[in-house]
Chain A
Amino acid sequence: MSYSKTSIWQPMSSEVASLSIWGAFARQFMRHCKSLVGSPADAINPLLFFFMVVTLFPLGLGPDPQRLAGMAPGILWVVALLSSLMVSAKLFASDYEDGSLEQLAMAPYPLAVLVMGEVAAHWIATGVLLALVSPVFATMLGLSSAALPTLVASLMLGTLSLTLIGAVGSALTVSIRRGGLLLSLLIIPLNVPVLIFGTTAVSEAVIDGNTVSWLALLGGLALGSLALLPLAIGAALRVSLDN
């Protein structure tokens, strides 16, 4: 196989069209979706983790169905939070190591928008997937089926906030060796409101109380995170690239 010596470079056949900012976002989103499809372990492992840790609770607390059912909202949400921590730890790591982050920083688009493509792909693969699968584990813990739709909704909205906050932590610690534990230290305090609103929404659903306000609060947190955190993520990534 030899380098073409005669025609090394020809003008491109297609029209050289510039990419819009939305196009650039979509391109990064597709890149990470394809990468996740290529190695499905990245999406399946958090689910398995969720499954196994949920199993630890009955083993630790005893199999009494009433007690488990009472604790189910809290257990499910805490484990979802831990699962999200696990995902966040790896969020920007591969892009940092293979130099993709550098390239993203050099691209003529705002870094915050480009990395949102990656964050969005990870949210769908881990957060949304988790929310959709959660009723299975909830039933194992004895959560009443009336609360299942609220559980799914709360996890969908909540994991969006968790993923965004996790992305901030990941962006700050990606250039540090063994930054995983530090990431948890940084993220856990910021995740407390999401945890509280999420568990309360599900608990209210069990007793057929007012779930709408709690879901609305979760939605508010999600939208607020979506509006403000990308800036922080972009700034943090540039700092990490400079370390």
Chain B
Amino acid sequence: MWTIIHKMGSPPWFFRISGVLVRWLLPITVMLLVCGALWGLLVAPPDFRQGNSYRIIYIHVPSAVVALAGYYVMAFAGAVSLIWRIKMADVTMRAAAPVGAVLTAIALVTGAIWGKPTWGTWWVWDARITSMLILLFLYLGVVALFEAYENKTAAARACAVLSLVGTVNIPIIYKSVDWWYSLHQPASIKFTGESAIDASMLYPLLLMIVAFYCLFAVAVLLNMRAELTWQHRESGWLRQIVSGA
């Protein structure tokens, strides 16, 4: 088993495998996204209360879910890098951070777009959106810390420590914001009504979630390839792969 892990840590091997993966995954992702979007935006029935404006959840929910999962991916890669000192894990962590940050931003913006027709305001301090905002800060912190260090090996190590501390905190932050919200909730308005979601709306949502996971994977792999290309720009095996196969 160690040989497999060792292999995964080797840049030339990773480059070859990721090339194949991306070649397959990119069209699949595009297909899933297009199908999911069409299904959700056109085919699924309009909501009883919100009419057609609810359809933004087909972008809002998947991006929020994958943004949160992405933080754990980043923290896990950081932990692997800290414990086993595998350089490829560093690269994975660096690649995942900006992708996760962008997805969080998309979740926030689409949340605001959803909010306007539904509640009348662009921003409302409800539990989930506030937690998303804090997640954005956590991501931006990792990105900013990486940029601030001159020695990039040390930078990766520092970001690994930071994202691990953040990971332990995320459930605590989420729960505390949840309680905060339920304590201060104005009695008349209920912002997050949890009505059971109908199957005809659930399936396109699930499809979009899968599509976004694939999108995350593709984006991270492409980022990693770009980073490795820069790091090994002068080595022979890279020229071979790029020019030959």
Contact = CB atoms under 8 A, between A and B. Distances in A.
A192 B173 contact: yes
A185 B140 CA distance: 8
A168 interface: yes
Interface stretch (A52-60, A133-141, A143-151, A231-239): A231-239
Given A185-B140, A189-B166, A197 B134 contact: no
A132 interface: no
Given A240-B158, A243-B151, A192 B176 contact: yes
Interface string B70-91: 0000000000001000000000
B176 A197 contact: yes
B144 A182 contact: yes
A172 B168 contact: no
Contacts of B154: 175, 239-240, 242-243
Range class of the A interface residue count: 20 to 34
Interface in B118-164: 134, 137-138, 140-141, 144-145, 148-151, 153-154, 157-158, 161-162, 164
Interface in A149-199: 168, 172-173, 175-176, 179, 182, 185-186, 188-190, 192-193, 196-197
B180 interface: yes
A189 B138 contact: yes
Contacts of B172: 193, 221
A172 B149 CA distance: 10
A222 B146 CA distance: 28
A198 B49 CA distance: 38
Contact of B145 (A182, A188, A228, A229): A182
B165 interface: yes
A189 B141 contact: yes
Interface string A86-117: 00000000000000000000000000000000
Contacts of A196: 176-177, 179-180
Given A192-B176, A193-B172, A172 B137 contact: no
Given A189-B138, A189-B173, A179 B180 contact: no
B169 interface: yes
Contacts of A176: 148-149
B183 interface: yes
B148 A168 contact: no
A179 B148 contact: yes
Q: Mostly helix, strand, loop or mixed at chain B's interface?
A: helix
Which of A179, A190, A197 neighbours the largest number of chain B CB atoms within 10 Å of its CB?
A: A190
Interface residues of B, number: 31
A36 to B, nearest CB: 27
Given A182-B145, A182-B148, A189-B141, A172 B162 contact: yes
Interface in B24-54: none
Interface string B167-195: 01100110111011001000000000000
A209 B137 CA distance: 33
B129 to A, nearest CB: 14
A81 B179 CA distance: 20
Nearest to A220: B172
Contacts of B134: 189, 192
A190 B177 CA distance: 12
Given A176-B149, A182-B144, 16 more contacts: A168-B162, A173-B145, A179-B148, A182-B141, A186-B162, A188-B137, A189-B138, A189-B166, A190-B165, A193-B175, A200-B179, A236-B158, A239-B157, A242-B153, A242-B157, A243-B150
Interface of A: 168, 172-173, 175-176, 179, 182, 185-186, 188-190, 192-193, 196-197, 200, 221, 228-229, 232, 235-236, 239-240, 242-243
10 contacts: A168-B162, A173-B145, A175-B154, A186-B162, A189-B134, A189-B137, A192-B176, A200-B180, A236-B162, A243-B154
